[in-house]
Structure 1
Amino acid sequence: MDVNASDPCSNYTEAWLWLSSLQPAYLGLISIVGMVGNGLVLCVFFLQRKPCTVADIYLANLAAADLVMLSCLPFWAVTIAQGYQWEFGEVLCKLVNVAISANYICSVLFLMLVSLDRYLALVKPMNPSRLRRAAWAKRICLGIWILGFLLNLPILLFRTVKYAEDPGVYACILSYPQPNWRVHHNIAKNVLGFVIPVLVVGYSTYHIVAALKSGRPIRLPGLRAERKATNLVLAVLAVFLICWAPHQVMCFLDTLDYFDLTPACLWGHVLDICIQLSSYLAYSNSAINPFLFVIVGKHFRRKAKEVFGKTLNPWSKDITYLTVSFTSVKRLNETHRISLGKLETFGLKQTVT
């Protein structure tokens, strides 16, 4: 394909082809890592003996949201590898993208709830709150799942498989009935998927750090546990901002582009590529979450050892029982021999007397 070097948009096709060549491998990698990590997290929460705490409920729902989204990414990895030819039918075109977008919002809101729960546990430990009750936590999680689905009803209605002339394939595209629908979708994603969570997480983090530095008594096992909790919240906020901020900025710029407030040809092409890159950076947050929130936590590692220790070594209980039984029998025999010896000695003394 001949390209005019003097055309300011001439490098767009080459850049897009380069990006498309990297996307399938990247999507496959984060899908595998994320599904394994979030799957292990869910196994620990479901198989643990003790009832789930409020934090466990939020983290389990976060892992479930990340797992659902990551399990849908391989469909797009295959599609991109085939030049954006969608081979999975219109039903899956709708369902896969609804699942990605819905969990895209749900995972962020569950992340926000984790930070809020940390705030209530560390800053206001003596003030009872319904948000720290397991029953209310489950209701809130159910409400977030419903909200995530309702916000993505337009995707369910308007995602379809159509022939795209530019790549010359039948692609799974989002065909809005009106152009301004794109603006409304971007605004909802900016507000619910970034602005509100950042404000809540930032507020929670600020007050947690302030409470720890003020020297006020906080009912925690020790200073080390307090520092770990603070570091975890700060790490959550940092990784969240790194993964999500670029995508939210690109969505905002895409809204400006709709109103023709940005440069023309070249800017539009660069914006398209940046939106793709930022989207996959945001997806990677779902693969990082299990390691960041749970697996690095001492409390979770103890749960994981209990759960997987019994799963990987199912005979441990029987071996322990046999060992205890053998030891008990041995001690009983020794006690019996000692008793017989005492009786014999006692009888001998009586005879001598």
Structure 2
Amino acid sequence: MMAIPNDLSLFNATSSPNSTTEVHATASLEALGGNCTDWHPVPMTTVIPAIYSIICVLGTLANALAVCVLAHASASRRTVANTFMLNLCVSDLLFLLSLPLWAVYYSWGYHWPFGQVACKICGALHNLNLYASIFFITCMSMDRYLAIVHPLRSQIARDPKRAQLLCILVWVLACACTAPTVVLRNTHYLKSLGVEACVILYPQHVWYLTLTWMKILLAFLLPLFIIAGCYCAIGRHLLADSSLMKMQNPSHPPKMPSSKSRDSHEDGSKPERPPTPSVRSSHSGGRPLEGRGLERVLWTVAAVVVAFFICWFPFHCVTFIDFLNSEGWLDSCWVHWTIQNLTPLTLCLGFSNSALNPVLYCFIGNHFRGRLGGLCKGLSACLKARGEEHSQKRGSFSTRLSSFSRKLSDLKDLAIVETSGNA
């Protein structure tokens, strides 16, 4: 059973020894145009480039700011979480820099004018980000779980040097998952469209099945299971501590003694007030986490899981539908329309996660915003100092020029006087 190709999408294209890619493409287009007249295609040449441009601009700006702040952090701020954040932002930034080429690819009607090497590099950056970003998000979720739920037992394991070694392992694993598609991705001429497309050419159907399931399992299901488990445990832990705090702080405090006895004991000493219990978290530096602080953490936790699920679930659903179609289990107009049109659109949604990551993990945090403000103030002060230095140099030059002009005028007057005396 040969796979129906998804050769018009950015991610997949199939080819088998017994049939060429353009034959499959023609079959899919005929199914859409001849038998499915009610299913109108989405204008990809205008919609996709516009979405890619927005994601590229916003994501590049956000990730570049995050990289600058995290890279210039002091040694005391180079924590495990910041190490994972920095690598995540670098992964997203590398991929976002390749989005303009993919935007041109769609705007030119799936024609790749940049050559074979650029096709492989951009495809590699896409797959590398697909795996690396999700792996780093998973590592950050596990680190938050250890820091909040097991703050004492995890102090030895949560070491920045170990986090750096783990980041190297994540990059190696992501490169290993990316290697097959780098080898298989190439430029291929499609006669049905008359374009030189950048596609993945599977030599056998088993390659398509293996890489598809590896993508679904390693890049979505397994990370989603770990992330959801970690944040569910964090939520239960914070809610349990919050309930304990409310029990220890009843809404109706006991009756206070009289003013005289409240101010002092019989011996004149002042009574000691019992400490107010509070929920503490190691990720916040041991400060009380209660009220709005607890609500803020819970909302951040929920936003992380929801954003990850919303961004990547539709794309993996379409990938699974493509798999069912390749096996002959699904074959109808809506299936062909979904594969051909929703694969690029759901990819856009997945790519938007690269722009959301620095917002969710960096800009929400008070410490990060404070460091960003400090960096901006330092940059402003540096520019102001340079401007003052430049103005001082200009003033010094003007002073020297006026002094030189006065000396020159004095020399002229002296020469006139000497000339008059000789006469």
- TM-score normalised by the chain length of structure 2: 0.70
Q: Distance in 1 between matches of 2:315 and 2:363?
A: 26
Residue 227 of structure 1, aligned match among 295, 316, 341:
295
Match of 1:155 in 2: 181
User: 1:323 maps to what in 2?
Assistant: none
1:161 and 1:172 in contact (8 A); partners too:
yes
- In 1, distance between residues paired with 2:182 and 2:200? 9
> Across the two proteins, how many residue pairs are aligned to each other?
315
Q: Matched residues in 2 for 1:104 and 1:208: separation?
A: 26
1:293-339: CA deviations, max 9, x gaps? 11121111011112221112127899xxxxxxxxxxxxxxxxxxxxx
Q: Does 1:190 align with 2:216?
A: yes
> Partner of 1:340 in structure 2?
none
Q: Distance in 2 between matches of 1:7 and 1:22?
A: 24
Aligned residue runs from structure 1 range 333-344, under 5 A: none
CA distance in 2, matches of 1:79, 1:316: 43
- 2:408 counterpart residue number: none
Q: Deviations over 1:60-106 (max 9, x none)?
A: 11111111111111111011111111111100110110011111111
| In structure 2, C-alpha distance between the alignment counterparts of 1:155 and 1:258, rounded to whole Å | 19
Q: Pick from 99, 124, 136: which aligns with 1:73?
A: 99
Deviation at 1:19, TM superposition (A): 2.8
Mapped pair 1:218 → 2:280: yes
* In structure 2, distance between residues paired with 1:115 and 1:41: 19
Change (3 A) 1:76 1:6: closer
Kindly report structure 1 stretches of 4+ aligned residues shifted beyond 3 Å: 3-8, 216-220, 224-227, 315-318
Contact 1:158 1:176 in 2 (8 A): yes
Cα deviation code 1:84-136 (max 9, x no counterpart):
11111100110110011111111011111111111111111111255411011
3-state SS of 1:15 partner: coil
Distance 1:64 1:4 in 2: 42
Whether the 8 Å CA contact 2:91–2:133 is kept in 1: the answer is: yes
- Which residue pairs with 1:64 in the alignment? 90
Structure 1 residue matching 2:41: 3-state secondary structure: helix
Partner of 2:48: 23
Residue 412 (structure 2) aligns with: none
Say whether the 8 Å CA contact 2:41–2:337 is kept in structure 1: no
SS of residue in 2 equivalent to 1:313: helix
1:54 aligns with one of 64, 80, 98: 80
Distance in 2, matches of 1:6 and 1:162, equals: 23
Other structure's SS at 2:187 match: strand
Higher helix share: 1
Aligned-pair distance for 1:210?
Answer: 0.8
Task: List alignment gaps of at least 5 residues for structure 1.
Answer: 319-353
Residue 9 of structure 1 pairs with residue 36 of structure 2: yes
1:37 equivalenced with 2:67 (yes/no): no
Q: 1:7 to 1:110 in 2, by over 3 A?
A: same
For 1:162 and 1:72, locate their aligned partners in 2 and report how far apart those are by CA, in whole Å.
20
Q: How far apart, in 2, do the equivalents of 1:86 and 1:53 lie?
A: 42
Cα deviation for residue 183 of structure 1 reads: 1.5
Q: Give the stretch that moved more between structures: 138-147 or 128-137.
A: 128-137
2:364 aligned to 277, 290, 296, which one? 296
Alignment partner of 2:324 out of 233, 256, 261: 256
With over 3 angstroms needed to count, the CA separation of the structure-2 counterparts of 1:73 and 1:131, relative to structure 1, is: farther
1:247-326 to 2 correspondences below 5 Å: 247-314=315-382
Amino-acid identity (%): 28
Aligned with 1:173: secondary structure? strand
Distance 2:368 2:118 in 1: 36
Shift of 1:22: 0.6
Structure 1 counterpart of 2:307 = 239
Over 3 Å counting, the alpha-carbon distance change for 1:5 and 1:174 in structure 2 is closer
Task: Tell me if structure 2 keeps the 8 A contact 1:130–1:136.
Answer: no
TM-score, normalization by structure 1: 0.84
Superposed CA RMSD in Å reads 2.3
- State whether residues 123 and 218 of structure 1, in contact with CA within 8 Å, keep that contact through their aligned partners in structure 2: no
Cα distance, 1:290–1:147 mapped onto 2, change above 3 Å: same
Deviates most, 309-318 or 18-27: 309-318
Return the alpha-carbon distance in structure 2 between the equivalents of residues 6 and 44 of structure 1: 52
